[in-house]
Chains A and B, each alone.
Chain A
Amino acid sequence: MNRCISGVRILAGVVLGVLIGLPPAQAALAPWSALAGKTVLFVTGGPRAPQPNDDARVARYLRQLGLRVRTVDARVSPSAAHGTALIVISSTANAHALGDKFAASPVPIFTWNTFDYPNLGMTGATLHRDFDVIDPVQHYADSFSVLYGFGANITSEISRAVGLRPQLFGTLYLEPQTAGWGDPGPGGTVITDFFGSRHYAGVFTYEREATLADGRTAPARRVGFYLGSDNFHLLTAVYGPPAQDPNLRRWAIGLKLFNAALRWALSPPPPEPTYDPRALDAALRQAARGKRVLYVERVNGGEGRRSDAHTVAHLRRLGFTVTVADQTAPQRIARGMDLIIISSTCSKWKLANKYIDVPVPLISLEGLLSDVLHFSGRDRYTDYGEHGELRESVDPPENYLNIVGAWSPMAAGLKPGLVKFTDHPGVLKWAWPLPDATVIATLPNEPREDAIFGYPKGARMAGGFIAPARRALLPLDNPSFDQMTPQGKALFDAVVLWALGR
């Protein structure tokens, strides 16, 4: 019996390993052909909706895509969503009448009803701070600014489908427009933004199981989109000979973004990971075969030496071939490696700028390296920092993390919410990565202080740096490896396993 259970775990581990190692292309959006015939519940303002509006155009467009459209107004019962594949909410629907009736719906939601974002938990509740609608009457100057979006994320499935780049693009056609923005919580993914800030997200998403801005968990995929009530037909696109110009193709992508975001919302989400440390261990052992790890530390350093030794021992036990290098060793030592782990015993000053551009996956256990590694901006205590460091931090020691990206394999199947990371409160580092990073955990009560996150290969990192391979932060201060709880160790293993993927 035990052998049977063990076999199942190994199999689960192999499956887990395969899932984590999936390249982005294989995790692509479902093709339209697979989505045809699905039913969409389209929530609009009904006959009393403000005029003019594009609801009829949107409904016609959805039908052209092969979807079945059932149009209702804000008085709709939440049960009307049963059996549908997607709820689409227009900004013509009365957000106050809608309330939170779809907040707990296990059906994906695609919405451009900005005032409904707080009801759905997609943003905070404060107008102008957490969300806003720009319109040419109230905000004439800004209504020109929203004609320009910025590709904040270039590696999400939506971004890849559109070919989004970290540059401006035309959101809507030329004249001053009405558009909405939202500031999603740490579990959200900002795809595009306005006004040069990710706080003003034009398009943003939540994966199923991601933590919403109000702390609840997304029961299904959620998409916020910048559209106004009457400008669907002005979403940018380019046709005919002008479309042969690659710059114009990358500029006029409003309709492509709409399509990709719609497809993403309709596509099946990744399977929910389950917390199974043994299956994770099996997957990691499978992945470790023949893999070489460069472990960079302060060799013969005082504090943290035991922790480094035990970390290396753990990796070797998993089957990795580990080379230990001193922080001062030249970068060429990384050649032929499959993974680089930088210990928190390293001196930031002595490490200098090494390993930044190495096309080998890299995990930093030291959050204070975030600026040098382009994980975040360079302003300490604003872009990165620490809790619990005597004389260096006003924040108390901490040993819990808040899981906000439970859907990601990096979360090791842990449920959203607080998880005990180490046995005792101590130093925990954090950084605020760019939107291309997948955030797994934040520090408790600090939604902008991200403790565990990963950048996929090709991601846009701070300063416009493009990740040459996967990059991750896992804050493990000097003595912490031996103090990690089983959940903490699972997070460590899951991040290592993720980093080894392509």
Chain B
Amino acid sequence: MRVGTVWRLGVLTVGMLLLSGPLPAADGTGFPYHLVRRIALPAAGAVHALLFDPRTRTIYVAQGPRIEGYSLAGARLVLQRRLPGTVSALARTGTGQIVAAVRTPAQLVFLSPRTLAVTHRRTLDLAKPAALLYDRKAHLLFLESRAGATIVRLDPASGRSLGQVRVPGTPGEMAGNGRGTLYVTNAARDALEVIDARSMRRTGSIPLSRCRAPSGLAMDTIGRRLFVGCANDRALIVDADLGFTFVRLPIPGGPRLRAAFAFHPFGAHGWKGGVFFAGATAVAGIQMQAFIRYRNHGHLPLPARCSALTLVAPVGELWLALASSARARPVIWVLGASRSEAQ
């Protein structure tokens, strides 16, 4: 076959593909992302945290005692730092500092985002810190110890403790509303615990009817809608102003879900908002059509359990850390937006 003919056939094929409408999702369920890159991590050990920094355009991966920084462009490893113990959580404060929670010995480590140089540390009087949350609008930093069933509010600059509250049960992911209220899932009580962040006092709990062992939690960026992932393959959307569950949607994913929300996750012309739940078997998407209207938008089966996820909304990517066991070598899946959603 002549080269010219091949070229013409190629143009024709591409043209037909473009005219045939949106590309089908990888698994045919309508999930709006597909796999664009795999990053195999060289060492074994669970990835406990993924964090995207829009200022440095870096994705930080916390695996064991290491923190690695990957450039958004090309997903190249650009930074690396070893800390004295397993890093269980990462957060980025309002000043741009990266904060790492080290499980044992329990401590908080502040790092420079561009070099990952340690700027200062603070020893924590807390058993096995497991999660960090920086509430960007309220400028509040929270640290959770699941082993101690305790949440501590910290000074975002120094790491000094400003108050703490016990959350009897099994606390999971946290979300803040930007107005001084902190929410945390409680798998033991099938409820959301509500904490006044200023007084660090538990003000009550929101029952989650027919939601077993909630673990994944995200909040929209205006602090009105809570997205809860339940172990019985269900996602609940709760009006935080009323504690009222107004949407229940089936989602696959299994127990110990992670959740993330973003407005316009595919850019200005994409979805109004999206929430993503990832667990042991799948990552599922829920589309926000309006503030009060949501729908399932498919799922993507996962080869291994997701231990961390982060949305990189500026480029329409979803990063997932997957590992079949704690001793297995994890892999990062970078999912890119399917064409129909990105346009």
Contacts and interface: CB of A to CB of B under 8 A. Distances in A.
Given A240-B192, A240-B194, A241-B194, A173 B204 contact: no
A502 to B, nearest CB: 37
Interface stretch (A112-120, A242-250, A458-466): A242-250
A236 B244 CA distance: 8
25 contacts: A174-B246, A233-B248, A236-B242, A236-B244, A237-B244, A238-B242, A238-B243, A238-B244, A239-B207, A239-B242, A239-B243, A240-B192, A240-B194, A240-B205, A240-B207, A241-B194, A241-B206, A241-B243, A242-B241, A242-B242, A243-B204, A243-B243, A244-B203, A252-B242, A252-B244
Interface in A112-143: none
Given A173-B292, A175-B292, A244 B243 contact: no
A173 B244 contact: yes
B206 A239 contact: yes
A185 B192 CA distance: 46
Interface string B189-219: 0001010000000011111000000000000
Interface in B3-61: none
A325 interface: no
Contacts of B242: 236-239, 242, 248, 252
Contacts of B248: 233
Given A240-B194, A242-B241, A173 B246 contact: yes
Contacts of B68: none
B239 interface: yes
Contacts of A243: 204, 243
B293 interface: yes
Contacts of B244: 173, 236-239, 252
A239 B204 CA distance: 9
Contacts of A19: none
Interface string A243-270: 1100010001000000000000000000
Contacts of A173: 239, 244, 246, 292
Nearest to B183: A240
**Which of A233, A239, A244 has the largest count of B CB atoms less than 10 A from its CB?**
A239
A234 interface: yes
Interface residues of A, number: 16
A282 B206 CA distance: 56
Nearest to B210: A60
A103 B158 CA distance: 74
A234 B244 CA distance: 9
B66 to A, nearest CB: 40
A175 B292 CA distance: 7
Contacts of A174: 239, 246, 292
Contacts of B293: 175
Interface string B167-197: 0000000000000000000000000101000
Contacts of B204: 240-241, 243-244
Given A175-B292, A175-B293, A240 B243 contact: yes
Nearest to B194: A241
Interface in A163-178: 173-175
Interface in B248-295: 248, 290, 292-293
Closest CB pairs A-B (n = 8) = A239-B243, A240-B243, A240-B206, A241-B204, A241-B203, A175-B292, A238-B242, A240-B204
Contacts of B292: 173-175
A173 B205 CA distance: 21
